[in-house]
Structure 1
Amino acid sequence: MEFKQFDVNKLMYVTNRPELVFTEGSGMWLTDHNGKRYLDYLQGWAVNALGHSPQCIQDALVAQGKKLLNPSPAFYNAPSIELADLLTDNSVFDRVFFANSGAEANEGAIKLARKWGKKNPAANGDARFEIITFKHSFHGRTIATMSASGKDGWDTMFAPQVPGFPKATLNDLASVEKLINKHTVAIMLEPVQGEGGVIPATREFMQGLRKLTQQANLLLIVDEVQTGMGRTGELFAYQLSDIEPDIMTLGKGIGGGVPLAALLARESIACFEAGEQGGTYNGNPLMTAVGVAVMKELLKPGFMQTVRERAEYLRAGSLKLSAKHGFEGERGEGLLRALQLGKDIGPQIVEAARNMGPVGLLLNAPRPNLLRFMPSLNVSNEEIDQMFSMLSDVLVKLGH
């Protein structure tokens, strides 16, 4: 494929991409190689917690880049220690392992749970290794995390799967109980199934899972790669249900746009031994310095309250648009929300919105019958109004 001055044929094909190259970004806006601007409601799939190229991240990269990039994970570095302190001081966890992606953090969580299960076997001495996950869940694209995921078709895509991930149904506690056996070591879930269609776990279900895991001596793992770092209106989504998990994974928003993720665990669960977990770039000071900058922004007085206010504004706008066009409402938590279309027109809307002019709109349809909104956490009411105005124009043009 060639367009203008760009030959993209040297990039390995992994997905269909439109014929545009983004060259600049600021806040909620992206600019392509032709100078066209786009209002961005993907934000790198909820990665850019503070929008594109926020000043605090620019400053952190420049300052740390002049000091130290990577001394290797065989040594301590100051930014990783500071970020670990910030995360543990503001959560129920005691230990942190830094990684480069959400999938890698989830892979680490699986390893840690199985290690803990080996040290805490069943009453008859049998090994415990099975982790109950959920239909329609998404935990990453490594072989193990694809096996843990509940996406349709992933059980055969790179067969054979890694065994040990029976699938329950979200918000159905009985379906979880049926799967527990002598080999079960943990239950792992997203507090909101993002790729599955922005489906929140109910407060009652989360509390029921915590009670069930405590009674059965199982670990509760929350995959907060998409929901963590303020996305749901709380710093971490588990806080919405007033529970205390055993393990949590973070990604996307923690780096605000750079490759950073984290695996967090309680002291009694953190049982890795030397050589069992690592990685060349894990916890490097350049990325963790950015994580510190992001975390400090989220912890500023009033920031999370503003996220909750913007979330309510987005929710109200979605309901108004839904009523106007005869859709089926909306759902979600915080600034991770979905407009339920009631018909499979999502991909059509996404393409038309991107191609509208002179300004485009970037949207996402993880399921064909809905649109997912993932703006930056500091999105303005005016940018929310502008999105709905543009989206309404697209719907009218398409006859919806």
Structure 2
Amino acid sequence: MSSETAGNSPEESSPEDAGQLQATAAAVAGTGTSEQWLARYSNSLMGVFGSPQRVLVRGAGAVVWDADGKEYLDLLGGIAVNALGHAHPFVTSVIASQLATLGHVSNFFTSPTQIALAEKLLELSGAPAGSKVFFANSGTEANEAAFKLARAHGKANPSPDGRARSTILALEGAFHGRTMGALALTAKQAYREPFEPMPGGVRHIAFNDIDALRDALDGTVAALVIEPVQGEAGVRPLSAEYLVAARELTTQAGALLIVDEVQTGVGRTGDWFAGIAAGIQPDAMTLAKGLGGGFPIGALITFGRGPSSLLSAGQHGTTFGGNPVATAAALATLHVLEAQDILANVRAVSRIFAEGLATIDAVTAVRAHGLLIGFDLARPVAAGVVAAALDAGFIVNAPRPSTIRLAPPLNLTAEQAASFLAALPGLIQTAVAAQPTEGASS
């Protein structure tokens, strides 16, 4: 893969090519205004996501356009998915070439891209001999595989006093997905309650509390599942001390340490993997989101021969996971991240955000972990800021009433970051002015 073709600016995509692709897509899907598309959406799609904020039709780099032609700076990146922005020319060319060569074969067979990607992930993670990779299609699927891994470990390794290891620990504030096993690990009751009873044996303990972890790690615990930074909880990091303690205490207790890097992995925090950068080697790690640069793929990495031998033939599987196109997309994404030293850009632009946000009076706290950034507002107007930002041409997210989250493409430029920082005080003022005053009649 030649780094000469791995550009990251919107200008590198030919307007003629983009226009031709847009015309082709329109011919397949039809055309219409945003209002027309949203009416069709409400008549045809389940309402699990609520009403879409916009109908997006095209992207280039960190910029997207809606069906009415309005331009937006995408500072959410598909929720930390579009590591290299939209329509990256090298990634899209690799995907098209692979699809034109070999698209899907099932896992009765393998492909060079599947093997090469597994080898690359083991290399980047510094995995020891005997480590293995399982490919899925998403983060929640990777965490489902990790859930099974924990169950298998518990059965294969009873406690010294003969008790079954049937408990999996997760943290308060955790988000690990919405399928049933991953949902059992997710802490938010509003997500869980409609579908209870959950798969049993999961217990949530206090966040970032080493004493609570030590107390919880008895002989019944098969695994501890953690996120180095909780994105859905408002970009809330575990301390380095907690991560080190988690590794030491789980080892002492005979439990697996499973690190969910679905949102933090693949350069998002300025390192390849946040947990490993903190100096720990987990027993297993899950990846997804940015791994495919926008193409769906997830992965479970097991470290060492013990964890890697827990799941045997027939005990887990997937039809689409690790297909040639998805693994080619991931290889292309990793290639660009390395060839262009995008992680250095992540660290540099992160500093710009952190320093700029700290100067804004209405911002009370900033948590910048590479380009996974959360900042708190003095008033609970985050939803209003999201709306005002969208009107002004910026896409951001509000995971909490007083918190804004940013997870832009990792190749976001300093100038693009500065444009949002310049607009933010006005966006907050707009949101505050639109908030109903206390005691006002409805």
Q: Secondary structure at the match of 2:49?
A: coil
The runs of 5 or more residues in structure 1 that have no matched partner are none
Paired amino acid for 2:328: A
User: For the residues of structure 1 that align with 2:364 and 2:88, how far apart are their CA atoms?
Assistant: 35
User: For the residues of structure 1 that align with 2:120 and 2:342, how far apart are their CA atoms?
Assistant: 16
Q: Which residue matches 2:364? A: 328
Change over 3 Å in CA distance of 1:209–1:19 after alignment to 2: closer
Which deviates further from its counterpart, 174-183 or 280-289? Answer: 174-183
Correspondent of 2:306 among 253, 268, 272:
268
Q: Which residue matches 2:355? A: 316
Aligned-residue offset at 1:399: 4.5
Indicate yes or no: 2:68 matched with 1:31.
no
Alignment of 1:183-332 (within 5 A): 183-266=220-303, 267-270=305-308, 271-300=310-339, 302-321=341-360, 324-325=361-362, 327-332=363-368
Q: Secondary structure at the match of 1:231?
A: coil
Change over 3 Å in CA distance of 1:19–1:141 after alignment to 2: closer
Aligned-residue offset at 1:19: 5.5
Q: Secondary structure at the match of 1:258?
A: coil
Q: Secondary structure at the match of 2:389?
A: helix
Alignment of 1:309-388 (within 5 A): 309-321=348-360, 324-325=361-362, 327-356=363-392, 360-388=393-421
Deviations 1:255-313 (A, max 9, x none): 11111010000232012111111111011001100000011122226332221111111
CA RMSD of aligned residues (A): 1.6
Q: 1:203 touches 1:240 (CA, 8 Å); kept in 2?
A: no
Which deviates further from its counterpart, 107-116 or 12-21? Answer: 12-21
Deviations 1:185-209 (A, max 9, x none): 1111000000011000110110111
Q: 2:138 touches 2:288 (CA, 8 Å); kept in 1?
A: yes
User: For the residues of structure 1 that align with 2:325 and 2:340, how far apart are their CA atoms?
Assistant: 26
Q: Secondary structure at the match of 1:309?
A: helix
Q: Which residue matches 1:107? A: 144
Q: Which runs of 4+ in 1 moved over 4 A?
A: none
Q: 2:37 touches 2:55 (CA, 8 Å); kept in 1?
A: no
Identity of aligned residues (%): 37
Paired amino acid for 1:371: I
Normalised to the residue count of structure 1, the TM-score between the two structures is 0.95
Q: 1:199 touches 1:332 (CA, 8 Å); kept in 2?
A: no
User: For the residues of structure 1 that align with 2:147 and 2:256, how far apart are their CA atoms?
Assistant: 11
Q: 2:227 touches 2:261 (CA, 8 Å); kept in 1?
A: yes
Q: Which structure is larger by alpha-carbon Rg, 1 or 2? A: 2
Deviations 1:54-108 (A, max 9, x none): 1121111111011101111111111010101110011133210000000000000
Indicate yes or no: 2:36 matched with 1:4.
yes
User: For the residues of structure 1 that align with 2:104 and 2:341, how far apart are their CA atoms?
Assistant: 34
The runs of 5 or more residues in structure 2 that have no matched partner are 1-33, 434-442
Correspondent of 1:396 among 423, 429, 442:
429
Alignment of 1:27-176 (within 5 A): 27-93=61-127, 94-176=131-213
More helix by share: 2
Q: Secondary structure at the match of 1:59?
A: helix
Q: 2:219 touches 2:253 (CA, 8 Å); kept in 1?
A: no
